[in-house]
Structure 1
Amino acid sequence: MKVYLTADKDGQELKNILVAYLADENYEVVDLTETPADDFADSANLLVQKLKEDEKGLGIAVDAYGAGSFMVANKHKDIVVAEVSDEWSAHMTRRHNNARIITLGSEIVGPGLAKGVAKAFVTADYDGGRHQIRVDMLNAMC
């Protein structure tokens, strides 16, 4: 599984920390914004496009508050996105919502917490079953 990461200028430093951390944890990491995007809309759209090409991949978008990337990515059909700032939410949104993208705010979470959030997200698996009904409802909204 590949983990794709993007950031705008406000999230670049934290994204770089996560790229290094996940690579050290032996994940296949793809940094889509080695040069930061000018705007969170650009970085979030880029991430969604990559995940539509790679149906098994996961993504992490970082901007100042996480909200901008979250709003942009959620405009796309068949991509479940969650704005998170703690490990448990990252873990459970993957398990119960089949979220493929999480968004983080560099002004909300520090490097240590961001690493924990990223690990909780990428190590969780989707439970399926009764949760698929919710995922189908989310996808029908777009």
Structure 2
Amino acid sequence: MIALGSDHGGFPLKQRIKEYLDAHGLEYQDFGCMDTSSCDYPVYAQLAAEAVALGKCERGIVICTTGVGISIAANKVKGIRCALCTDPYVAEMTRRHNDANMLAMGAGVVGPNLAERIVEAFLTTEFEGGRHQRRVDLITEMEGKTK
């Protein structure tokens, strides 16, 4: 199950991603927003990220106009490693090396065809583990720690 979330700027691209997921038989839950009315991206980032962090969804995809704000918001949820990806290579490598469990995209940055390729790379690439696991563990240890 894939958690989806967007703000109004990301809504049209999220709809396109839903069509892609449907065409590939992939299940998802849409946490909003549900139209192009102005809204606040942190609300939907949190809902989608919490579904991933709690294990209700395996991975998540969040979209706003740039992808920056919604990725920052998603990363505030403990256990989330949300990566802003602008091409399939970045999506592949963030899965291989960072075990990212959420993907953020900017609807004003990537077009729908490129977005589909990014989603495909993100969903089909497995984490390599090995030396990368140590680094992911170090990131996890940082959560909630402030000097």
TM-score range, shorter chain: over 0.9
Please say if residues 59 and 102 of structure 2, whose CA atoms lie closer than 8 Å, have aligned partners that are also in contact.
yes
1:112 shift after superposition: 0.3
* Identical amino acids, percent of aligned pairs: 35
Output the CA distance in 1 between the equivalents of 2:80 and 2:17. 22
Considering only aligned residues, what root-mean-square deviation do their CA atoms show, in Å?
A: 1.4
Please say if residues 79 and 139 of structure 1, whose CA atoms lie closer than 8 Å, have aligned partners that are also in contact.
no
The residue aligned with 2:75 is: 74
Output the CA distance in 2 between the equivalents of 1:61 and 1:125. 19
Offset from partner CA, 1:71-91 (integer Å, 9 cap, x none): 111122221111111001101
Q: How many residues align?
A: 141
Output the CA distance in 1 between the equivalents of 2:103 and 2:17. 13
* 1:105 maps to amino acid: G
The more displaced of 29-38 and 85-94 is 29-38
* 1:123 maps to amino acid: T
Q: Could you list the structure 1 runs, at least 4 aligned residues long, displaced by more than 2 angstroms after superposition.
A: none
Q: Superposed, which structure 2 residues align to 1:1-142 within 5 Å?
A: 2-33=1-32, 35-36=34-35, 38-54=39-55, 57-142=58-143
Alignment gaps of 5+ in structure 1: none
Alignment gaps of 5+ in structure 2: none
Q: Could you say which structure has the larger radius of gyration?
A: 2
Offset from partner CA, 1:77-126 (integer Å, 9 cap, x none): 22111111100110110111010001000000000000000010000111
1:55 shift after superposition: 6.2
- TM-score, normalisation: structure 2: 0.90
Please say if residues 74 and 80 of structure 2, whose CA atoms lie closer than 8 Å, have aligned partners that are also in contact.
yes
1:53 shift after superposition: 2.2
Output the CA distance in 2 between the equivalents of 1:77 and 1:59. 14
* 1:27 maps to amino acid: L
Please say if residues 6 and 14 of structure 2, whose CA atoms lie closer than 8 Å, have aligned partners that are also in contact.
yes
